[in-house]
């Protein structure tokens, strides 16, 4: 089955817990490489940082890839679904305004994983941050402009 065929199952059984650490992946609609333009990726980064300023989440690590993003964070307020809905909506509005485009930016739903053990945080962060290397976008992570982690 294709990912889009299972989109309706993404929310089934989803549970949000305040102070829980989550790893999420969100893809663009039809996997369009919108964020190949890193300046558009900065608009998404702004929205991730805004969640911290609002006290909704504490970012631990993130990377914005051309057609998706990975985000490792601790949920502070609201539900996981509401947080991601907010990030997706605000980033879509900002991006559509700047790029003068209309239409759907994000794939419906998202993939999440609740991190269960403290010691696996750095492992998850390293995996997230290494995405541009694995994708062959850069040969050194320092050359990629759209990532961050608290362990710097």
Give residue 152's pLDDT band: very low, low, confident or very high (50, 70, 90).
Answer: low
Q: Which tens digit of pLDDT belongs to each residue from 86-139?
A: 999 999 999 999 988 888 999 999 999 999 876 688 889 999 999 999 999 999
Query: What's the confidence (pLDDT) of residue 119?
Result: 63
Q: In 7-99, which ranges are continuous DSSP H helix?
A: 38-53, 80-99
Predicted model pTM = 0.88
Residue 69 near residue 147 (C-beta atoms within 8 A): no
Query: What's the confidence (pLDDT) of residue 80?
Result: 96
Domains of the chain by range and CATH?
Answer: 16-149 (3.30.70.1290)
Query: What's the confidence (pLDDT) of residue 116?
Result: 83
Q: What is the DSSP letter of 132?
A: H
């Amino acid at each position: 089955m294709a990912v889009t065929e299972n989109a309706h199952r993404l929310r089934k059984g989803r549970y949000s817990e305040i102070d829980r650490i989550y790893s999420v992946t969100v893809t663009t609609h039809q996997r369009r490489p919108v964020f190949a333009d890193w300046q558009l990726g900065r608009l998404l980064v702004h929205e991730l940082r805004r969640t911290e300023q609002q006290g909704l989440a504490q970012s631990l690590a993130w990377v914005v890839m051309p057609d998706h993003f990975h985000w490792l964070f601790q949920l502070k307020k609201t539900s996981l679904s509401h947080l991601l809905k907010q990030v997706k909506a605000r980033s879509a509005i900002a991006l559509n305004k700047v790029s003068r485009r209309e239409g759907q930016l994000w794939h419906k739903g998202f993939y999440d994983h609740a991190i269960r053990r403290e010691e696996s945080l750095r492992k998850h962060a390293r995996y997230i941050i290494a995405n541009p290397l694995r994708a062959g976008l850069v040969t050194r992570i320092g050359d990629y402009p759209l990532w961050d982690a608290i362990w710097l």
